[in-house]
Structure 1
Amino acid sequence: MQDIIETFRDGLFAGKVIVVTGGTSGIGLAIAQGFARLGGTVVALGSSAAKIAQAGAAAENAGIRFERVDVRDPAAIRTFMGGLDRLDVLVNGAGIARPEAEFEDETFLEVIDVNLVSQMRFAMAARPLLARSKGVILNIASMLSYVSDPVVPAYGASKTGVLGLTRHLAHAFGPEGIRVNAISPGYHKTDMTRALWSDPVPAAKIAERAALKRWGTVDDLVGTALFLASPAAVFVTGADLPVDGGFVVGGV
């Protein structure tokens, strides 16, 4: 990640407060680390006490504060936001997938709640603080906002909804100086995709479709997040930036 960090001015986010949901592992944690290395005061949220303890003990996460907040609990979200004096960047990174099980009503609704509804909850709870700082919301969407996967209908629907939510909030919040953008990751090596990248056959097929002929890493998403939250993107809102190595635009 160091070469990515060196692309940006040292201390770029000094004095800024950044909150990352889904920030105890994977993509969310990598983004949290990126903001912290550029001087940001970062609070990473998660729902697993075990993951919070593990992340908090890791040396590379020094300077990041980890807290347990259930993104499905509106009262807990409001309480957390009420405890902040300042907020400059909100990264909505919490997400789950339940392959095959998402065809069941209860599971479908759970995935929609975590992946989509929670982003609206956090955006609304954060709005007063972000209006004060003229801040930024980054919503994590997915390549499945654009292409289909037959075993995760709720995940695909929720991530498609994230793009719509991003556009609507960009206009709703824009008059207050708040920018709202999305990032659409592709196939990155995380715990969620482990079953695919650890199996040579699907792993090779996925890499072959990507223009860059490889899987993504979580670090590949950090620079995009930092750019969208920086003054360099001051007139960018309502947009989505795919970070998928060219997978979505690849051939069949």
Structure 2
Amino acid sequence: MNELDFNKKAVLVVGGSSGIGNGIAHAFLEHDAAVHVWGTRARAEDYDGVEGSDLNGLAYAQVDVGDRGQIAAADGPPALDVLILCQGTVVYRRGEFEPEGWDRVMAVNLDSLMACAAKFHDTLAARKGVIIIVSSVSGYTANRGNPAYAASKAGAVSLTKTLGQAWARDGIRVVGLAPGLVDTKLTKVTTEHPDRLAGALGSIPLGRMGTPGDMAGAALFLASPLAAYVVGQTLIVDGGLSL
């Protein structure tokens, strides 16, 4: 028996249009799942040429999850086995200390997690499905320049615990994944500055950044029967950064 066989399984990756989410989406596609992704651009073709984005083989829909109304109005897969909540944004240059920046980050990074999870609760319960909430190691530490990002990720870790406890008896297994430093559009402030990058790599015991593929492997495990007794926990995948 192949525990990582997702044939005849339906997967939705919110935030799956690029970066970590896109890597996770393709991992499930390679393991024979039918994979749907939500992103912010109008059409899948609008991601052509975007670094870290490949929508080939994925069913795409535009949903800005920072807007509750769009989440409510969006069409999801009629049947769903795995919901991966990988949406995320950040505001640099101390923008999160201002109300507009704070509100936008919290809306995307935290509020939308609950809205998406609630939207698909019944669909997932019917299939004994799995929710994977993607947070960050920033949820466990201070982040001097990004209070909303850090607070939202800490909230995501806590939400994973609470929904894991609340929904297990409904047949939904809720788990989490906390990436460390991965080269995506959200981390360019570090990866495109040699001194900052060198300092960051010096704090990672494995000596390298993570890749979307690293995160995808963890997601496959968490969604599979191999993790059938894991509930409410967030797996930190950071090369030892948080140690």
Q: What TM-score results when the alignment is normalised by the length of structure 2?
A: 0.93
Match of 2:222?
228
Per the alignment, residue 187 of structure 2 pairs with: 193
Task: State the SS of the aligned residue for 1:33.
Answer: helix
Task: Report the residue type matching 2:15 in the other structure.
Answer: G
Structure with the larger RCO, 1 or 2 (CA within 8 Å, 6+ apart):
2
Partner of 1:164: 158
**Would the aligned equivalents of 1:17 and 1:86 in 2 still touch at CA under 8 Å?**
yes
Alpha-carbon distance between aligned partners in 1 of 2:26 and 2:166, rounded to the nearest angstrom? 30
Counterpart of 2:81 (choices 88, 91, 97) is 88
Task: Tell whether 2:237 aligns with 1:248.
Answer: no
Question: Alignment length, in residue pairs?
Answer: 241
1:113 aligns with 2:117: no
Partner-residue secondary structure (3-state), 2:88? coil
Code of the residue aligned with 2:18 in structure 1: it is S
Measured in 1, the distance between the counterparts of 2:33 and 2:54 equals 15
Which position in structure 2 is the counterpart of 1:79? 73
* CA deviation vs aligned residue, 1:225-252 (integer Å, no higher than 9, x gap): 0000001111111001011100011xxx
* Pairing of 1:57-72 with structure 2 (within 5 A): 61-72=55-66
- CA shift, 1:51, in A, is 6.4
* 2:13 and 2:86 in contact (8 A); partners too: yes
The CA RMSD over aligned residues, in Å, is 2.2
Q: 1:247 to 1:178 in 2, by over 3 A?
A: same
1:216 aligns with 2:203: no
**Quick check: 2:164–2:174 contact (8 Å CA) kept in 1?**
yes
SS of the residue aligned with 1:118? Answer: helix
Q: Distance in 2 between matches of 1:237 and 1:204?
A: 36
Counterpart position of 2:149: 155
- After TM superposition, the score normalised by the length of structure 1 is 0.90
Gaps of 5+ in 1: 1-7
Structure-1 residue corresponding to 2:13: 20
**Corresponding residue for residue 3 of structure 1:** none
Which residue pairs with 1:5 in the alignment?
none
Q: 1:142 Cα shift? A: 0.4
Between the aligned residues of both structures, percent identity stands at 37
- Contact 1:98/1:111, CA 8 A, preserved across alignment: yes
Distance in 2 separating the partners of 1:59 and 1:109: 27
Structure 2 unaligned spans of 5+: none
Could you tell me how far 1:180 is from its partner in structure 2? 0.5
Q: 1-side partners of 2:36 and 2:73: how far apart?
A: 14
CA distance in 1, matches of 2:54, 2:115: 30
